[in-house]
């Protein structure tokens, strides 16, 4: 479930397991997820290197290699990492596998293939080319408001647009707007400064709390929407019915009573 909290979780996973081990071999089991790089070139750039540190921007994870380059991982909708013994049977959906000299391996598993891996020289250049906006936890209140007040369309669509603010996807956009008591389909031009401030505050509250919960909705407080994200569930606040609706092409869960339209 890779939105910002999930990717942060994978960052910590690499930090605590996969750093500073020499990569003996990189297996590319499916080239479709390689972005702008050939299988051979990808493997060659990783051979003999170590992961030295990690940096996350939005849903993108940059893993620094011992030389001046980075491995970029994007998890798409279904990506995961699995760090295991080298002998352990490879997951059928593993697309790339890094074999370490420590006897361990790191598998990049993506069942639905929407995700990518590549090696890049500059994070700044990659950000520029791929239009990755400021991380949702890094943006200042001033910049957030300065950006949102000039946008149009549904407020949820804005939150999910990685160009302006990166890291928020379908699920957490719903959670943030539920906490802010704002209707996901509300047009931005109907909102005022107070609303923007409320959204900003709840972006931080929800994302930080979700990182603490290891991006596991079941570990979130019962007052959150995520544990009740299902058909016919009750709103934890007013006990009314949670409704669904398409906003920006994605299924949206919200409480019409707590999040009324203006």
* Tokens coding 87: 């002998």
Q: Which of 13, 141, 118 minimizes the C-alpha distance to 62?
A: 118
Q: Which is nearer to DNA, 78 or 84 (CB)?
A: 78
44 has catalytic annotation: no
219 has catalytic annotation: no
Q: What is the DSSP letter of 228?
A: G
Q: Which is nearer to DNA, 49 or 157 (CB)?
A: 157
Q: Which is nearer to DNA, 32 or 261 (CB)?
A: 32
Q: Report the nearest approach of DNA to the CB of residue 229 (Å).
A: 8
- Evaluated on CA atoms 45, 49, 55, 58, the torsion sign reads positive
**Parallel, antiparallel, or unpaired for β 94-100 and 23-28?**
antiparallel
Q: Report the nearest approach of DNA to the CB of residue 22 (Å).
A: 30
Q: What is the contact surface with DNA in residues (CB under 7 A)? A: 1-3, 6, 32, 58-59, 74, 76-78, 92-93, 111-114, 130-131, 151-154, 157-158, 160-162, 169-171, 244, 248-251
Alpha-carbon span 172 to 210, nearest angstrom: 9
Q: Report the nearest approach of DNA to the CB of residue 248 (Å).
A: 5
* 39, 187, 243, 250: the active-site residue: 250
According to DSSP, the residues that pair with 106 across neighbouring strands are 83, 98
* 2, 5, 64, 186: the active-site residue: 2
Q: Report the nearest approach of DNA to the CB of residue 155 (Å).
A: 10
2 has catalytic annotation: yes
Q: Report the nearest approach of DNA to the CB of residue 19 (Å).
A: 24
138: CB partners within 8 A, 6+ apart: none
Distance of CA 130 to the CA centre of its chain: 15
* 3, 8, 175, 186: the active-site residue: 3
Q: Which is nearer to DNA, 49 or 170 (CB)?
A: 170
Q: Which of 201, 179, 182, 178 minimizes the C-alpha distance to 191?
A: 182
Q: Which is nearer to DNA, 73 or 99 (CB)?
A: 73
Alpha-carbon span 54 to 12, nearest angstrom: 9
250 has catalytic annotation: yes
Q: Which residues are catalytic?
A: 2-3, 59, 250
């Amino acid at each position: 479930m890779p939105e910002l909290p999930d990717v942060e979780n994978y960052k910590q996973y690499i930090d605590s397991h996969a750093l500073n081990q020499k990569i003996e071999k990189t297996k590319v089991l499916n080239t479709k997820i390689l972005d702008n790089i050939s299988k051979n070139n990808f493997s060659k750039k990783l051979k003999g290197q170590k992961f030295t540190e990690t940096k996350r921007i939005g849903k993108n994870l940059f893993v620094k290699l011992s030389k001046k380059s980075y491995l970029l991982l994007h998890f798409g909708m279904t990506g995961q990492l699995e760090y295991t013994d080298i002998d352990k049977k490879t997951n059928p959906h593993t697309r790339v596998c890094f074999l370490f000299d420590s006897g361990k391996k790191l598998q990049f598993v993506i069942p639905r293939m929407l995700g990518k891996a590549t090696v890049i020289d500059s994070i700044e250049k990659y950000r520029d080319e791929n239009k990755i906006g400021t991380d949702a936890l890094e943006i200042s209140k001033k910049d957030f408001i300065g950006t949102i007040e000039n946008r149009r369309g549904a407020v949820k669509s804005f939150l999910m647009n990685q160009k302006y603010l990166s890291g928020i996807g379908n699920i957490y956009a719903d959670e943030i707007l539920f906490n802010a008591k704002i209707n996901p389909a509300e047009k931005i031009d109907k909102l005022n400064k107070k609303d923007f401030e409320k959204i900003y505050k709840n972006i931080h509250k929800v994302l930080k709390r979700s990182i603490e919960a290891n991006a596991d909705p079941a570990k979130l407080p019962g007052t959150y929407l995520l544990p009740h994200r299902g058909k016919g569930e009750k709103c934890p606040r007013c006990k009314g019915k949670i409704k669904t609706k398409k906003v920006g092409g994605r299924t949206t869960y919200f409480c019409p009573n707590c999040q009324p339209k203006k």
